[in-house]
Structure 1
Amino acid sequence: MFQWTQSCSYDDRQKCLFHSTARSRLKKLAAELRLAGASYDIRSNKAGIAVSGEITLYHEQFYLQVGQFGLASGHGILIRTCKGRKGFTGGLKHFVELHLLDDIPALAASVRAITGIGRAIEATPMRGDTA
């Protein structure tokens, strides 16, 4: 398992590993959520030498950002709803633990619970159906 809490500060090798591993896990998350390829992109911002930077899965309805910004609490994944991929505003900020990157089904469940992405559509009545 990857050491998500090993600091990237002043450690270019660790930062490169952090970014490449997170990007790989976010691709797996997109597959687990069954996101259409054109509906999202994955971005990486390495930022300065004293920080981890962030890796973002940006979907039309939510974004998920990975970084070492909450190590004291164990958190390092931000999940937030949005409207489109052009801004970083939207719903409430939700934080989950970095180790969920090692359990993609559990991370996908958190994303579904927070955003509604991938929830059962069959619960919505179809036109013409009666209850």
Structure 2
Amino acid sequence: MSYDVAFRHQQALDPSALSSVTTTLHAIGAAITDCRNAGKDAEIDPAVILLIRHLSQVCEARPPSTLLRRECLDAIAEIRRHPVLKTLAYRGVAYDEPAKRLFHSEGRIAVRRLAEALGLAEGSFDVRSNKGGVAVSGEITLHGEDIWVQLSLGLMGPDREILYRRVHGRSDHIGERNHYASIRDLMAPDRFARKIRRDLNLAPATPSDGRLFA
């Protein structure tokens, strides 16, 4: 059943109480929800449009775009200096679905970078992600012909987030003796790849090995 309310129109006509970005965005979101409930098109709803225009007025008091762009670039550089995987490892992701989703997304990227550093040819390995239940981080697994590496949080304690071992083919899920490493090692994939090959008595990667990225 469709129904409409007057509140969004009243806010749009007198937005004086909406003095911050947060409160104005909340009002816009609520107005769009009202449109949906009323079967109205939010793209042309006068109240929604007026509230969005008010948001632009609220933002006029903020620094100019050139400065904001510089701050965004600085923030990106700072984030790259402190990889999010390390932060997630320290704080954990249990019972936090957005954090777990980020952990698995960034974890897959990091594991694929490790595969590149190991010199694994595309198609010679699998990268699997298993989120598990809400109380655990789940795991990201790299499984090659002779290398098995798994990233997970909390199971083995701090600085043991990486489990790796030698295997004999991609159907081997048991492998040889387990080795452990810190998530910090994963942040330096070239050095970690050399350590893995040394620990597992594997031949060094050769220039002819397939690479994942140009």
Q: Same fold (TM over 0.5)?
A: yes
**Matched AA of 1:100:** D
Q: Equivalent residue of 1:38, what SS?
A: coil
Matches of residues 21-60 of structure 1 in structure 2 within 5 Å?
A: 21-60=106-145
**Which structure has the greater CA radius of gyration?**
2
Q: Percent identity?
A: 34
Structure 1 unaligned regions, length at least 5: 122-131
What number of residue pairs does the alignment pair up?
Answer: 120
Per the alignment, in what secondary structure is the counterpart of residue 185 of structure 2? helix
Q: Offset of 1:52 from its aligned partner?
A: 0.4
Taking structure 1 as reference, are residues 120 and 41 closer, same or farther at Cα in structure 2, changes over 3 Å only?
closer
Give the deviation of 1:70 after TM superposition.
Answer: 2.3
Where does 1:1-131 land on structure 2 (aligned, <5 Å)?
Answer: 1-2=83-84, 3=87, 4-68=89-153, 69-71=155-157, 73-119=158-204
**Which residue does 2:65 correspond to in 1?**
none
1:40 Cα deviation from its structure 2 partner: 0.3
**Which protein has the bigger helix share?**
2
Take 2:130 and 2:151, find their aligned partners in 1: how far apart are those partners? 10
User: What's the CA shift for 1:107?
Assistant: 1.6
TM-score between both structures, scaled by the size of structure 1: 0.84
The DSSP-based 3-state class of the residue aligned with 1:26 is: helix
Q: TM-score, normalised by structure 2?
A: 0.53
Higher RCO by CA contacts (8 Å cutoff, separation 6 or greater)? 1
Deviation, structure 1 residue 22: 1.0
Structure 1 stretches (4+) deviating beyond 4 angstroms?
Answer: none
